[in-house]
Amino acid sequence: MSLLVPILVLSGLGAAMGVGLAVAAKFLSVAEDPRVEALVDILPGANCGACGYPGCSGYAKGLVAGEDVTLCSPGGNATVKDIAAILGVEAVTVVEKVALVKCAGGRNVAPDRSLYVGPQTCRAAVLVGFGNKECRWGCIGLGDCAEVCEDDAVEFTADGLAYVVADACIACARCVKACPRDLIEMVPKDRKVHVLCSSHDPGKITKNVCQVGCIACKLCSRRDGKSFVIEDNNATVLYGEGSRDVPTAALICTPGAVWDANMYDQVTWLTDPEARVHLKEQQAEFKAAERAERAAKKKKAAEAKKAKEAAADKAEAEPAVGKPEKTEEAPDQEPEKGAE
């Protein structure tokens, strides 16, 4: 009996409060746009902040208030479509992006110049004499980018070079801000040809400090000025409209700063010395083929000229014919399918 009283009292209290809460929920409720909840459901829920809002629910509210629908980079095109469906606006296609570390200089090819002791972060390391790497633009490899990456998409080679695993990257771009050397760029996911060097030193200096650094020789930009541009001693791939994956770019880049994902996968390219040897062979082959082609063309042109001259000789009365047209640059070829 003595047990029954408190049980009854407490359950009575509980029931009364439950009724109170139910009533409050009914009459004191704040009307919220139902679309917000729907949007939160379809957003990826990574709360990465790439859109500029504190989290997915923040962006959902922003969307209802008329924010741009293409800001969610982890979601990509599918999310844009869903958002557009909920908001009743027209869906636009976005270019899905992925982070890329624009440096291929592990310690095997771009050595350290001194020993660094102290807090093990890149930002702290560059405070001591601008970093302990001989190249003052390259990846230090202490992992400030990996620290901020919540998807463990940043990995390191044995030689202390950071690279982003494209499949794991959700394109939140947090690593872009974390890198004290501004090496990371968001690039379109479907692009295959990249320049993995961010050095703005003159070629003479870059050559001395890194075996795979861009020396700004302009071979790539001369071949396709819409896809490559040389700015401040560094070749940059233009990813915008009108650009393309130049298939021969990797075959003409002397130091091997251009990485063609069609030829070598990322890990092979960054870690396997065999890949470089193989590329050198490919380059030599390509060069020889191009030279042969050019020679053939020249020969052809010379023959044509001769024939024309002969014709001109025959018809003396006629005025001399001008020089034959200048030999065109060899057109781009498909890369030799030798890559594994």
Partner 1 sequence: MSVSFRGGIHPRYAKELASDAAIEHLPPPDRAIVHLSQHIGAPATAVVKKKQEVKKGDVVGEAAGFVSVPVHAPISGKVTDVGLYPHPFGSMQEAVVIESDGKDQWTDLPPKAQPDSLSGEEIKDRIRNAGIVGLGGAAFPTHVKLSPPPAKHIDTVLLNAAECEPYLTADDRLMREEPRRVVSGFQALQKVLGAANAVICIEENKPEAIGAIEKAVSKAKGVRVATLHVKYPQGGEKQLIDAVLSREVPTGGLPMDCGVVVQNVATCAAVDDAVRFGKPLISRVTTVTGEGVANPVNVVGRMGTPVQTFIDAAGGFQGTPGRVILGGPMMGGAIHKTDIPVIKSTGGVLVLTPEQLPSGDFESCIRCGRCVRACPIHLCPNEMGNYAEVEMWEELEGLDVNDCIECGCCAYSCPANRPLVQLFRYAKLWIRQNQARAKTAESKDEK
Smaller CB separation from partner 1, 198 or 227? 198
Question: CB of residue 204 vs partner 1: minimum separation in angstroms?
Answer: 8
The conformational region for residue 59 under phi > 0 = left, psi -120 to 50 = alpha, else beta, is: alpha
Task: Report whether 87 contacts 43 (CB < 8 A).
Answer: no
Question: CB of residue 137 vs partner 1: minimum separation in angstroms?
Answer: 10
Applying CB under 8 A, which residues contact partner 1? 113-114, 117-119, 121, 123-124, 127-132, 136, 201-202, 205
Smaller CB separation from partner 1, 149 or 270? 149
Tell me which DSSP letter residue 113 carries: S
In degrees, rounded to 5, the angle at the alpha carbon of residue 320 between the alpha carbons of residues 319 and 326 is 140
Question: CB of residue 121 vs partner 1: minimum separation in angstroms?
Answer: 8
Smaller CB separation from partner 1, 75 or 141? 141
**What's the rounded Cα separation, in Å, for the pair 301 and 299?**
5
Question: CB of residue 112 vs partner 1: minimum separation in angstroms?
Answer: 9
Task: Report whether 269 contacts 275 (CB < 8 A).
Answer: yes
**What's the rounded Cα separation, in Å, for the pair 108 and 273?**
9
Question: CB of residue 147 vs partner 1: minimum separation in angstroms?
Answer: 10
Smaller CB separation from partner 1, 45 or 129? 129
Smaller CB separation from partner 1, 31 or 65? 65
Smaller CB separation from partner 1, 148 or 229? 148
Question: CB of residue 328 vs partner 1: minimum separation in angstroms?
Answer: 37
R_g of the chain computed on alpha carbons: 31
Alpha-carbon torsion 11, 16, 21, 23, what sign? positive
Residue 135 contacts by C-beta under 8 Å, 6 or more apart in sequence? 105, 110, 199, 201, 206, 209, 210, 213
**What's the rounded Cα separation, in Å, for the pair 154 and 191?**
19
